[in-house]
Structure 1
Amino acid sequence: MESVDSAEDPPVEALQSVFHLHETRRDGGRILYYGESRVPERMLVREVWPAFRRAGYEVQVTSTDSGREDVVVARPVSEGVDGVPWKNLSLLLATVVSTMFVGALTWYYIPFSEVTANPLVVLRAWPFTAAILGVLATHELGHYVVGRYHGVDISLPYLIPFVFPFGTLGAIIQMRGQMPDRKALFDIGVAGPLAGLVATIIVTAVGLSLPPMTVPSWAVQEGSEVIVFNNPPLLNIIATILGRPTEYADPTVTVHPVIIGGWVGMFFTVLNLLPVGQLDGGHIVRAMVGEAQERIAAFVPLVLFGLAAYLHYVLGNSLSESVGLWAFWGLISAAIAFKGPADPIDDSPIGPARMALGIVTFALGALCFLLVPIEVMTV
């Protein structure tokens, strides 16, 4: 670590009113300012952030190991993707493979013996993979594009491969930079669900327009149990507009697997709009109501546990169905809420136009909600 001349630093004068500077050093691309803060940490960041951001730096406050000095850390703002995003591409490839295999075995009813004999047969499931990944990637790219528009350091999407029933657990992005204000937080938060819903509607419409699938006899044996994915209201609305069925009286006929991409888009929209922590709903509500978001988030796990209890003790659903699903997300939402929401530098209100858009977004999300998304039925 080397000392640097303050004349070469970002605008040090922005620090003078709130920070007593002792020494300035450079550590790679970062610049570290050692001294004592004259104000609370949050106030210090809000005071110096605009000037440093204009100079191309983000600011964080920490302290030395001994705790005797405060350290203001300035690091250059990322301008985009540095080099080839190997991790993102590797996860994308793995998720393409996992969704094709799961799609072939589960939704295209290709026997496992046939898949092991000729793995390339899974390519028949490419429409399922395109539907699933198209919905998920569009959602996350909505966040990415709007995040870059606002100058926030945000990663490309990371797709997560998995097994049954969809071959993926979804996708995430990392917001590594600071959030400049509540308007940027709102725009980034709302962009994903809205972009994802557009893709979901398109995928659902395409799936409903494709011919139904024939289920082989070995998959529909009398007395066997099957997992049923029930229709969210939005899916029924699209089907009604197009005049297409979503189920058939003949148990050997079922809808095209592409429709599952639409179902996944709707279900993930509901989960992402939970108003807790760093989920999209948490970002949107934090931007809309400020710090009161944390009080709202505290009730979300209770509501989800309440749904699970109602399904189990009142409606008699088993733990293997939607009871376990909502109980699991009750635990997940509690953990996410505990970590807290994003903390924008500028906490000014977002204005009536964005408030209205936020309400519309949650209303669209409500059309994707289903009390019993999945259940086990006997054929």
Structure 2
Amino acid sequence: MDGSATPADAPAPDRLDSAFQVYQVRRDGDRLLYVGDPLVPPDDVERRLWDLFRDRGYEISLQREYVPDSETTVPTHGWVLVARPLSIGVDGIPWTNVVLALLTSGSTLFVGAVRWYQIDPSNPIAILRAWPFAAAVLGVLAVHELGHYVASRYHGVDATLPYFIPFPTLIGTMGAVIRMKGRIPDRRALFDIGASGPLAGLVATVVVSAIGLQLDPLAVQQGIPDPDAVVVRFNHPLLLQAIAAATGTLGKLQSGAYHPVVFGGWVGMFITFLNLLPVGQLDGGHIVRAVVGDRQETVAAAVPAALFGLAGYVYFVRDVTDSIGIWIMWGLLATGLAYAGPATPIRDDGLGSKRRALALLTLLLGLACFTPVPFEISSP
């Protein structure tokens, strides 16, 4: 056994003897490669050795066929336990995140200016008047993703800052995501990371909605509508109606004449519902996987059928065609997510009763953000 490549801060090969027999140790850049054979079922190797490496600042993964990044030679036979130095946080200026955030701010401002404020897009200075709309939409998205990021940092899981996705849709963006680069240690971490985004985003959504409902509609919204214009009417989920009722603005909401900031709250609710679908590695998939374990895959298998059924209900019962595409698209996406499977924590112990109760509350709040027909389009 060659242990010469083992640095002083890394576990010596003989410390792994309870779960993994090491034949040699190699380096691949900053990674340590323990080449050998499992002495326990492969799924148990990481679980048994996780704390040993984590306490020394390494994250491990057991791989059958490891492809090195450098010119390191790794035997083609046997297993490789890859130990990567744990790095949590932002190293330097995240230029990709910054550039995407600026581009998304621009696309959201543009869509808000043209659609809601009816500003001539040839005047770039005037477009800035749509900043309340852009701030509302990007604010709820940012708080949602930062909720995930903070929970990841709390549990020592490496994750990126949010990546915003610019796209000239009805809201000017395709949303935002963070990328999990580290392994999730246990079900508690899986639940906290999954639930923190929707819960933080919902707090921002409630605040944005309540503020927007107190604002007067724009002057262009109160004018006589153009009979030749295409009209998009957004239907209101139960949570938005409850906020309006609590703030005494239900009549304003029902009239449809409300400030564009309210639409930022609507966006937050719609995205929260979609993210809480209990499938794959969506937030809802994380939450349900943390609560019920491997049985989450049974729940996930029913999600595509439910979404396709919802598309059929909207078409045949509600006689509305505008929202069918959304549910069919998400039914197809959910099929792929269910096939890919959920995130699997290193330690698969049970979840406490408090987190189970919070999981139920989170999923119920997600249902309060649901409306079967999110929007309807009427043409002249």
What is the TM-score of this pair, normalised by structure 2? 0.93
Report the counterpart of residue 8 of structure 1 in structure 2. 8
What displacement does 1:25 show? 1.3
Partner SS, residue 252 of structure 2? coil
Report the counterpart of residue 263 of structure 2 in structure 1. 260
Q: Cα 1:68–1:211, aligned 2, differ >3 Å: closer, same or farther?
A: same
Q: Cα 1:180–1:247, aligned 2, differ >3 Å: closer, same or farther?
A: closer
Report the counterpart of residue 306 of structure 2 in structure 1. 303
Whole-Å separation in 1 of the counterparts to 2:46 and 2:32: 15
Structure 2: runs of 5 or more not aligned: 67-74
Report the counterpart of residue 115 of structure 1 in structure 2. 121
Q: Post-superposition, which runs of at least 4 consecutive aligned residues in structure 1 deviate over 6 A?
A: 216-219
Partner SS, residue 87 of structure 2? coil
What displacement does 1:221 show? 2.2
Report the counterpart of residue 183 of structure 2 in structure 1. 178
What displacement does 1:137 show? 0.3
Conserved 8 A contact 1:214-1:254: no
Report the counterpart of residue 85 of structure 1 in structure 2. 94
Q: Cα 1:221–1:194, aligned 2, differ >3 Å: closer, same or farther?
A: same
Q: Cα 1:217–1:369, aligned 2, differ >3 Å: closer, same or farther?
A: closer
Report the counterpart of residue 226 of structure 2 in structure 1. 221
Conserved 8 A contact 1:88-1:159: yes
Residue 109 of structure 2 is aligned with which of 100, 109, 112?
100
What displacement does 1:40 show? 2.7
What displacement does 1:64 show? 4.3
Output aligned runs, 1:172-211, within 5 Å.
172-211=177-216
RMSD value, Cα: 1.9
Report the counterpart of residue 69 of structure 2 in structure 1. none
List per-residue Cα deviations over 1:253-311 (Å, max 9, x = no partner): 82111011000000000000000111000000000000100110000000000000111
What displacement does 1:115 show? 2.0
Letter in 1 for 2:216: P
Whole-Å separation in 1 of the counterparts to 2:378 and 2:58: 57
Whole-Å separation in 2 of the counterparts to 1:67 and 1:168: 45
Report the counterpart of residue 284 of structure 1 in structure 2. 287
What displacement does 1:218 show? 9.4
Report the counterpart of residue 126 of structure 1 in structure 2. 131
Percent identity, aligned pairs only?
A: 51
List per-residue Cα deviations over 1:161-195 (Å, max 9, x = no partner): 11120001111011110110000100111100000
Report the counterpart of residue 274 of structure 1 in structure 2. 277
List per-residue Cα deviations over 1:36-89 (Å, max 9, x = no partner): 222332111111111101111000111346741211100011131111101110
Whole-Å separation in 1 of the counterparts to 2:89 and 2:56: 17
Whole-Å separation in 1 of the counterparts to 2:222 and 2:134: 25
Conserved 8 A contact 1:46-1:345: yes
Conserved 8 A contact 1:20-1:36: yes
Conserved 8 A contact 2:6-2:32: no
Partner SS, residue 255 of structure 1? coil
Letter in 2 for 1:167: G
Report the counterpart of residue 246 of structure 1 in structure 2. 252
Whole-Å separation in 2 of the counterparts to 1:290 and 1:151: 22
Output aligned runs, 1:143-182, within 5 Å.
143-182=148-187
Q: Cα 1:216–1:259, aligned 2, differ >3 Å: closer, same or farther?
A: closer
Conserved 8 A contact 1:4-1:26: no
Whole-Å separation in 2 of the counterparts to 1:340 and 1:312: 30
Conserved 8 A contact 2:190-2:286: yes
Structure 1: runs of 5 or more not aligned: none
Q: Cα 1:217–1:350, aligned 2, differ >3 Å: closer, same or farther?
A: closer
Partner SS, residue 60 of structure 2? strand
What is the TM-score of this pair, normalised by structure 1? 0.93
Partner SS, residue 259 of structure 1? helix
Report the counterpart of residue 236 of structure 1 in structure 2. 241
Aligned length: 369
Letter in 1 for 2:4: V
Q: Does 1:34 align with 2:35?
A: yes
Partner SS, residue 121 of structure 2? helix
Whole-Å separation in 2 of the counterparts to 1:4 and 1:268: 52
Q: Cα 1:125–1:77, aligned 2, differ >3 Å: closer, same or farther?
A: same
Report the counterpart of residue 54 of structure 1 in structure 2. 55
What displacement does 1:6 show? 3.7
Partner SS, residue 103 of structure 1? helix
Whole-Å separation in 2 of the counterparts to 1:130 and 1:324: 28
Conserved 8 A contact 2:236-2:374: yes
Q: Cα 1:216–1:179, aligned 2, differ >3 Å: closer, same or farther?
A: closer
Whole-Å separation in 2 of the counterparts to 1:281 and 1:32: 35
What displacement does 1:3 show? 7.5
Conserved 8 A contact 1:103-1:128: yes
Q: Which range moves more in the overlay, 34-43 or 193-202?
A: 34-43
